[in-house]
Structure 1
Amino acid sequence: MTRSVFVTIARFAVAVAFLPALAFAQYPNKPIKLVVPYSPGGATDVIGRVLAQALSTQLGQQVVVENRAGAGGNIGAESVAKAAPDGYTLLMGAMTSHSIMATLEKGSIRYDLQKDLVPVSMAGSVPLVWVVNPDLPVKNMKELVAYAKANPGKLTYASSGAGAPQRMCAELLRRMGGSQLDMVHVPYKGSGPAMTDLVSGQVNTMCETVPASIGFIKAGRLRALAVTTPQRISMLPDVPTTAEEGMAGYEVASNFGVAAPAGTPKPVIDKLNAEIQKALAKPEVQQQLLDQGAYATPTTPEQAQARIKAEIDKWAKVIKDADIKAD
């Protein structure tokens, strides 16, 4: 082999080696699809649209929200899990709900949350609050537990579905209350009808998202007992935390994040993560989320992965202990 041929081959090899890096450096060079696995208007959709708008400006490419609702979010999540791992199809997921479904519907869902998707970043968190109909004679969480113990089988609690974070929040209370509180679950198809019956007194209590309940709380139509967050929240500053009510470790929130198909190159994940971090650091973006009842919660991909695993493990135990079945 002549020297000139050897040099030519060497240069070609170097060029080929740099092609992937060049492609990643140019990412994105076309629009990105952000799949929201629920109908328009919910928390996942709102957070997704706020983030998509900010990312479109930062990346110089349109981030298009596509709503693919059905099967409790599983249809849209599955479509992303099976998409090409090139960074152009992403999931705006309700990670708490997906983590619950990973156990609750393990036999029917056709993707694995931890194997078929890779976290990019958490994005937002919606806090939950325990509320009661004002006619119920309880003023705090200790009184709620005491009432449930004194009236076995009489205290009714609503939820927006068998596998919803609201249901899991109540199941945690049943166990933390000691001797598995005898409370009657009344499932609804969504927070709207659940709130309607709670306000009218058809059911007694509920652990609900702050955005869905805050209007009723401020109007005096529901009484807030405690928020299930580590610290008090700015939306309800006068409402104590469950920890303040003597329930250390009782924390529940509905968490949302962005994920990509497994196999998406790390440089693409890192680029997306950096841009999401940048977007969620902007005061105007934080305010847009807060206006919808969500707090910005950016993380590294590794932190997001750890959080999702922790949620899966946590809810798997609750589902098993309570023998919860899918609707």
Structure 2
Amino acid sequence: MLSIGVLSVLSLSASQAQNVAANYPGAQPVNIVVGFSAGGSTDMLGRLLAKAFAEELGGNFIVESRPGANSNIASGYVARAKPDGHTLLMVPFGLPVNQYLYQQVPYDFKKDFAPIALVAQVPNAIVVKADSPVKTVKQYVEQSKASKEGRTYSTPGVGSSLHLAGELFKYETQAPLLHVPYKGSAPSLTAVMAGDTDSAFDNLSTVVPHVEAGKLRILAVTSKVRSASFPDLPTVAESGYPGYEISSYFGLAAPAGTPSEIVDRLNKATLKALRSPELSEYLKNLGAIVADNKPEEFAAFLNSEGERWGPVIKAAGIQPN
């Protein structure tokens, strides 16, 4: 599906770019745009980055929330912004995926952005009720296939990374699971604890308190590698399904045409910030996986994400909004 309504932005001239990069960020504030409401993990991470950038680069970095349409509003806004490094996007999972979930998106994720860095990947987790006889992913798949009606899994909503985590699980395991969407993590996980659904997919950091309270059991994490914060938890890939891997993630991007010097400075500032005690502690509490990466590596990551989800969403029968 092609996006429409994209407004083109002229790149800065070479002399303008050099001048902007030399004085960046200067006196003009830098807006870090977040596509979700204030108070969530994306917003909090954006604020920690803004603080670190101000200390490292000088200037004034401000987080601006533009929630709505699974981050399409924020992404479209940044795509049309002046490419001078003063408008940045906290890149959400939906940036390369929304093209399959919406009939129209106000940007082309490959053409309208200059990727800066993949900030962190946050594993999701597959959970069941604490007293469930199912203790492994293989047992859950076998139980689902043996059941006439299959099994159910709940998530915080249709089209979320957690919904797609469940659909990818079905795609890779051929387990007959039925998605039951709720409006948020709290009711989704409550449904599992009450026995209304058989399992749930949610962020690792969200489910851990319920596991510690003895109400839920984690079968596996969905990331490619184990979380350093919870090294005893196996991955789905280790559990017998090597093709399975999905994480929620946070990244940073600027509008296409932003001078490469500014992109490189922001990349270096991001990687330095990720090693700071305050940001490291926050990401550790999320169970996040962090790795140094260059702008071109983040661009390749986004391209691969854009390619992989089309077949999964089509197989799931998820209709564009």
TM-score where L is the length of structure 1: 0.89
> How far apart are 1:174 and its partner, in Å?
1.1
Q: CA deviation at 1:234?
A: 3.0
Aligned equivalent of 2:97: 100
Partner of 1:26: 23
Question: What's the CA shift for 1:32?
Answer: 0.5
**Corresponding residue of 1:38:** 36
**Alpha-carbon distance in structure 1 between the residues aligned to 2:210 and 2:166:** 20
Which of the pair has more CA radius of gyration?
A: 1
Report the equivalent of 2:88. 90
Could you give the per-residue CA deviations for residues 68-124 of structure 1, whole angstroms, max 9, x where no partner exists? Answer: 111111111111111111110000121x2222212211x222111111112111111
- Aligned mate of 2:141, from 120, 136, 145: 145
1:234 matched to which residue of 2?
228
* Alignment of 1:315 onto 2:309: yes
Distance 1:286 1:104 in 2: 33
Q: What percentage of residue pairs aligned between the two structures are identical?
A: 39
TM-score, normalization by structure 2: 0.90
Residue of structure 2 aligned with 1:224, choices 209, 218, 229:
218
- Structure (1/2) with the larger helix percentage: 1
Please give the secondary structure, in 1, of the residue aligned with 2:63: strand
Report the equivalent of 2:167: 171
Aligned residue number for residue 11 of structure 1 = none
In structure 2, how many angstroms separate the alpha carbons of the residues matched to 1:19 and 1:185? 52
SS of the counterpart of 1:97? coil
1:102-156 superposed Cα distances (whole Å, 9 cap, x missing partner): 2211x22211111111211111111111111234321100100011001133411
Amino acid at match of 1:62: N
The alignment status of 1:253 with 2:247, answered yes or no, reads: yes
Alignment of 1:182-221 (within 5 A): 182-221=176-215
Q: Distance in 1 between matches of 2:234 and 2:17?
A: 52
Aligned residues: 308
288-297 or 271-280: bigger deviation: 288-297
- The CA deviation string for residues 2-43 of structure 1, in whole angstroms up to 9 with x for no partner, is xxxxxxxxxxxxxx9766423311111022000011001222
Alpha-carbon RMSD: 1.8
Q: Distance in 1 between matches of 2:279 and 2:172?
A: 37
**Runs of 4+ deviating beyond 6 Å:** none
Deviations along 1:226-278, whole A, 9 cap, x unmatched? 11223322332322122221111311100110111111111111121121122
| Matches of 2:145 and 2:203, distance apart in 1 | 25
Q: Give secondary structure in 2 for the equivalent of 1:158.
A: strand
Q: How does 1:41-56 map to 2 (within 5 A)?
A: 41-56=39-54
Contact 2:204–2:286 (8 Å) recurs in 1: no
Does the residue aligned with 2:133 lie in a helix, a strand or coil? coil
Native 8 Å contact 1:124 1:255 kept in 2: yes
Q: Which runs of 5+ in 2 are unaligned?
A: 1-12
Q: Deviation string for 1:167-224 (max 9, x for gaps)?
A: 11111221222xx322211012222221122222211101211011111111110111
Moved more, 156-165 or 83-92: 156-165
> C-alpha distance in 1, partners of 2:50/2:99?
26
User: Is 2:152 aligned against 1:156?
Assistant: yes
Other-structure match for 1:123? 119
Provide the rounded CA distance (Å) in 1 between the counterparts of 2:84 and 2:217.
48
Listed as ranges, the gaps of 5+ residues in structure 1 are: 1-15
